[in-house]
Amino acid sequence: MPTMPVGGLIARAVDDAADVIVRNAKIYTGDSSRPHAGALAIRDGRVTVVGDDAEVAPFMGPATTVVDALGRRVVPGLNDAHLHVIRGGLNYVLELRWDGVTSLRQGLAMLREQAARTPKGQWVRVVGGWSAEQFAERRLPTPAELNAAAPDTPVFVLHLYQSAIMNRAALQAVGYTKDTPDPKGGQIVRGRNGEPNGMLLAAPSALILYSTLAKAPLLEGEDKKTSTRHFLRELNRFGLTSAIDAAGGFQNFPDNYGTVTELARDGQLSLRIAYHLFPQTPGQELDDLRRWIEMVRPEDGDEWLRLNGAGENLTWAAADFENFAEPRPELSGDYETEFEKAVRLLMEHGWGFRLHATYDETIRRDLAVFEKLAAEGLFPAGNRWLFDHAETVSRDSLDRIAALGGAMSVQNRMSFQGEVFTRRYGPGAAAEAPPVRAMLERGLTVGAGTDATRVSSYNPWVALHWLISGRTLGGLAIRPPQNRVDRETALAMYTRAGAALTGEEDVKGILRPGFFGDLAVLSDDYFTVPEQDIPHIESLLTVVGGRIVHAAAEYEGLDEELPPISPTWSPVAHFGGYQTSPRTGLPGVRQAELLGEAVAESEQHRQWRARRGLAPETASTPFDPCFVL
């Protein structure tokens, strides 16, 4: 691209010219040996130089793209350590996103508008990324409101792990009637006439919600690729350059992995993905694992798409549920038998795993299995393994995890469910859900993520805000200072720790020569922006492996071109993804604090002037006739 000779950067015909140079920046590298820099260069996908403008100048060639950061903050590319990116990509353009929407009134207006353009046979679906606590109204939509907004178009609105709201057209589309039995672990709420009223409740299993959603139409062919590419671009918008896909229900291997595999083959991924494999059928888990062990091996793939192991479930019977509106589920008393067989099989074949576990009661039982295998010399056998979620994990369990060489992956599920958790278990338990600082104090690797997209939003800055502030979307402070982390630690959890969970800590997570050229130029300085504004940060320019995959504001048009969104009636084509909301004003207490600071500073200035004879020794009282009695 044409470049002005600014600051000594003049194009030279050099053999080792950089592909991309970022200059005039405030770079936080994450590298303890050189944490700060002003410029860097990338060649062949890797960082080659980290320094200042003068140090990168010799590597500017005629074809080098020079990015002037204009003094903005640059950070290593973010890495979501628990994101359902493959499933999310296959459905992205079909979903109306309420992420960031500040009122139910606005959400219903979006829904009404989308229903009007949705063709017959298709649904309007709102799937995750929001909580009633983020709305000014602090409530869910009602079935009556969905019926009024969309009388004829099926509407399905998923709320966390707790419930779904459907209109009459959706109930008809899935065939729910007064004769439909309640599924195990779920409830179809019925009116006085016995007919379903549109509410589905997870009691406590969310399978009723997900199995109902699975009845909606799916994308086919090239539309799946287009949807996935636009979802990855949406993640790039927030500075994400990597993610660990945690698999999950209704994500079959190899069928549902075909789209990302084809995109990787064609060089069209804009996000690095390490994926897991999750047995889908209860009673068939061991057969699935044996079959996969014959097909693939962990770390098969390349820097863009690679297998990272099994999970986040190994056997269905060992999985607890995270619906905090319901009591903790009691798992079967003998699930360890099949669970041990699964873990033993993985260890014998060099497979690591991640394990969904919400409650300490589950974690203790799982650890007993691991300790039994460790006594036989079979665990962990050099394999990476970790617990996910762990909202109520105890200190004793953390000690046992550390002794077995495990790691942790935490998500900001409490941003969305903090209020309901607090109502059930009390503020004391909520203050430790999960005990992030206790994990870090034991030297555990703790990756951070979102668990998007069916519950949490995929916006990483919402998760970072939760780690730092301890606040929910509704503003409730549930985690005290002793269980929060500072901004540098939170960023490390979102960069270096995620790389360690996939065994890539020697090539990813920091900006150092030889490491991947993955970075984000931020809209605001993450380290200095007011705490309440952290969720509003976006990336203005995201680079993955030296490729500019997202560009906005001054950099608009520098990123790679995407095909148009298809189908044309897609909610994303009209509303986009995450809805950027206006920044809130300062809280009243903080306003008063700042006013007091300003008054004190003014008095210091007056005293300085008085000492130099530029002002009276005593402050004069301003005359205001309103105060003359």
- Enumerate the β-bridge partners of residue 188: 200
Q: Domain tally for the chain? A: 3
How far is Cα 355 from Cα 454, in angstroms, rounded to an integer?
18
Mean pLDDT over each residue of the chain, to the nearest integer:
92
Note whether residue 365 is domain-resident: yes
> Do 427 and 322 sit in the same domain of this protein?
yes
For residue 113, the domain's CATH number is 3.10.310.70
> Do 393 and 271 sit in the same domain of this protein?
yes
pLDDT higher than threshold 80 for residue 626: no
Residue closest to 146 by CA, chosen among 136, 158, 135, 155: 155
The whole-number pLDDT of residue 12 equals: 77
> Do 332 and 444 sit in the same domain of this protein?
yes
The whole-number pLDDT of residue 629 equals: 34
> Do 333 and 442 sit in the same domain of this protein?
yes
> Do 397 and 318 sit in the same domain of this protein?
yes
Mean pLDDT over residues 69-89, rounded? Answer: 98
Is-contact 341 263, C-beta < 8 A? Answer: no
Residue closest to 243 by CA, chosen among 268, 223, 217, 273: 273
The whole-number pLDDT of residue 619 equals: 57
Note whether residue 405 is domain-resident: yes
> Do 208 and 268 sit in the same domain of this protein?
no
Q: How many CA atoms lie within 13 A of 587 on its CB side?
A: 8
Is-contact 22 519, C-beta < 8 A? Answer: yes
Note whether residue 34 is domain-resident: no
Q: How many residues does the chain have?
A: 629
Q: What is the CA radius of gyration of the chain?
A: 26
Note whether residue 67 is domain-resident: no
pLDDT higher than threshold 80 for residue 203: yes
Mean pLDDT over residues 531-553, rounded? Answer: 98
Q: What is the dihedral of CA 624, 625, 628, 629, to 10 degrees?
A: -150
How far is Cα 548 from Cα 619, in angstroms, rounded to an integer?
58
pLDDT higher than threshold 50 for residue 625: no
Mean pLDDT over residues 395-412, rounded? Answer: 98
- Among 434, 469, 500, identify where a domain stops: 500
Mean pLDDT over residues 408-435, rounded? Answer: 97
> Do 265 and 349 sit in the same domain of this protein?
yes
Domain coverage including residue 476: 251-449+459-500
Average the pLDDT over each of 445-454, 525-534, 579-588 and give the range with the smallest value.
579-588
pLDDT higher than threshold 50 for residue 174: yes
The residue type at 597: E
CA 470 to chain centre: 16
For 333-349, what is each residue's pLDDT tens digit?
999 999 999 999 999 99
- Among 213, 243, 265, identify where a domain stops: 213
Note whether residue 540 is domain-resident: no
Ranges of H-type helices in 558-622? 571-575, 588-611
Residue closest to 22 by CA, chosen among 70, 62, 63: 70
Mean pLDDT over residues 611-624, rounded? Answer: 55
Mean pLDDT over residues 499-527, rounded? Answer: 98
For 117-132, what is each residue's pLDDT tens digit?
999 999 999 999 999 9
**Could you tell me the pLDDT band of residue 248, with boundaries at 50, 70 and 90?**
confident
Is-contact 577 97, C-beta < 8 A? Answer: yes
Note whether residue 547 is domain-resident: no
Mean pLDDT over residues 560-570, rounded? Answer: 97
> Do 187 and 277 sit in the same domain of this protein?
no
> Do 280 and 391 sit in the same domain of this protein?
yes
> Do 143 and 274 sit in the same domain of this protein?
no
How far is Cα 436 from Cα 393, in angstroms, rounded to an integer?
10
The whole-number pLDDT of residue 589 equals: 52
For residue 342, the domain's CATH number is 3.20.20.140
- Among 183, 213, 243, identify where a domain stops: 213
The whole-number pLDDT of residue 145 equals: 98
**Could you tell me the pLDDT band of residue 604, with boundaries at 50, 70 and 90?**
low
**Could you tell me the pLDDT band of residue 246, with boundaries at 50, 70 and 90?**
very high
Residues 6+ apart with CB under 8 A from 150: 111, 112, 115, 124, 167, 169
> Do 386 and 490 sit in the same domain of this protein?
yes
How far is Cα 463 from Cα 99, in angstroms, rounded to an integer?
13
Note whether residue 129 is domain-resident: yes
> Do 128 and 199 sit in the same domain of this protein?
yes
For 259-293, what is each residue's pLDDT tens digit?
999 999 999 999 999 999 999 899 999 999 999 99
Average the pLDDT over each of 203-207, 261-265, 302-306, 381-385 and give the range with the smallest value.
203-207
pLDDT higher than threshold 90 for residue 565: yes
Note whether residue 546 is domain-resident: no
